[in-house]
Amino acid sequence: MKAYTDVLINKVEGGHKWWRPDPDMPLMHYEAKHKTDNIYIMWMETRAMRTRCAYPCLIIEDGDLMVFKPSKSIGAGQENAAMLKRWALLVTPQNIETEWIVGEVDKDVFAERYKKAQDGTLLEGMKQAEEAPAVEENEEE
């Protein structure tokens, strides 16, 4: 099963050209909050197998959590497939800049949130509107 999607943030200017090597790309961690809907997402981006990839990690939509679980069990595989299908409907390289407020996340903070999401403790006792991880909106002048 494919566990990655098209890269959202770290696109190559002008697209990849066969005669120009793709520059190195470190592993980056991101979070985003939808501008109008109550949706929060987290993902990683890196270059793997000579392709820039986004690895969706979690979606919190109206208090419902979908998390990608790195497991080979059939149940986890079905949940991961459902999560990736929902991700593809919500997030695209075209709408990430217009419909989402995106921020970089420190890798340790990202790992802590992702681990809590996998354990099922991320939303425990959390008031969605007050305590949900928030992406700071950049002020435009």
pLDDT, tens digit, for every residue of 17-72?
A: 555 566 667 889 999 999 999 999 999 998 877 778 899 999 999 989 999 988 77
pLDDT of residue 139: 45
Cα(41)–Cα(31) distance, integer angstroms? 6
Q: Characterize the bridge pairing of strands 100-104 and 64-67.
A: unpaired
Q: pTM value?
A: 0.78
pLDDT of residue 125: 41
Cα separations (Å) of 41 from 15, 23, 90, 97?
25, 26, 10, 14
